[in-house]
Amino acid sequence: MRPIQNAGGHVGLTARNYPIAADTAISAGQVVVLTAGLVVAAAANVTGAILGIAAENHPGVEDPLNLRADGAEILVYDNPELIFECPVSVITAASGSATTIVPAAGDVAAAAADDAYNNSVLVLRSKAAESANTDPIGIHIKVTDYTKTGTILTKESGGVPSAGDEYEMYPAIGSKVCGLDSDRMRLVVAANGATAIQVIGHDFNRGMIRCMAVKHQLGGAGA
């Protein structure tokens, strides 16, 4: 995750020191929480309040070039109104029709409920070598419905996706369906349940999604 500004528009980001166990490994950009007064990585499906985004690496082992590497504090971007961003998820079509796309197994969260991805936006990123898809690269496609059984994304009528076609998948604005990846660095559609974080914006030109905390350990909006 990369902090970019605060909700009020202020871009002068600040980070503060928080206690951390000397042997806890945290990477800059990870979503973190306070547990028993110490900073730890958030769970992939974090539902409780978050503290913010780690502002530095704390590998948890001694480093003669970095006295904070196994120190007792770590810097965290902790503003409750912090806006942060991460790369968009990319899904690959397994099959589809003029009005549907079926993602490859595991590309979207199997546990996501019906309608979880409604109003997401797909952007055709690349086509398979033998693709017969008539949609142009870069087209924006609105997901009008999601069916859990069969992981079917219903779309506006258009080209028929071929197996191997790749789409950027931007969750709907306000969505809280995604989960964090294994590194706790980004929201991904391959996991779900991180309801403490929501999508608040799309940057189609850069392939990024923007996020904010729904629940924050320092209070503020959504606490």
3-state secondary structure 157-180: CCCCCCCCCEEEEECCCCCCCEEE
Strand-pairing partners, residue 3, are 84
The tokens describing 205, both together, are 């030109």
pTM comes to 0.92
pLDDT of amino acid 223 = 47
Report how far apart, in Å, the C-alpha atoms of 189 and of each of 32, 115, 144, 202 are: 20, 13, 16, 14
What is the tens place of the pLDDT at every residue in 86-137? 999 999 999 999 999 999 999 999 889 999 999 999 999 999 999 999 999 9
Q: For the chain, which ranges sit under pLDDT 70?
A: 220-223
pLDDT of amino acid 219 = 82
pLDDT of amino acid 13 = 86
Residues 183, 185, 187, 190: is their CA dihedral positive or negative?
Answer: negative
pLDDT of amino acid 210 = 97
Q: Taking Cα atoms as reference points, which of 51, 16, 25 lies closest to residue 197? A: 51
What is the tens place of the pLDDT at every residue in 41-54? 999 999 999 999 99
Q: How far is Cα 136 from Cα 8, in angstroms, rounded to an integer?
A: 37
Per-residue burial over 105-129, b = 16 or more CB atoms within 10 Å of its CB, e = otherwise? eebbbeebeeebbbbbbbbbbebee
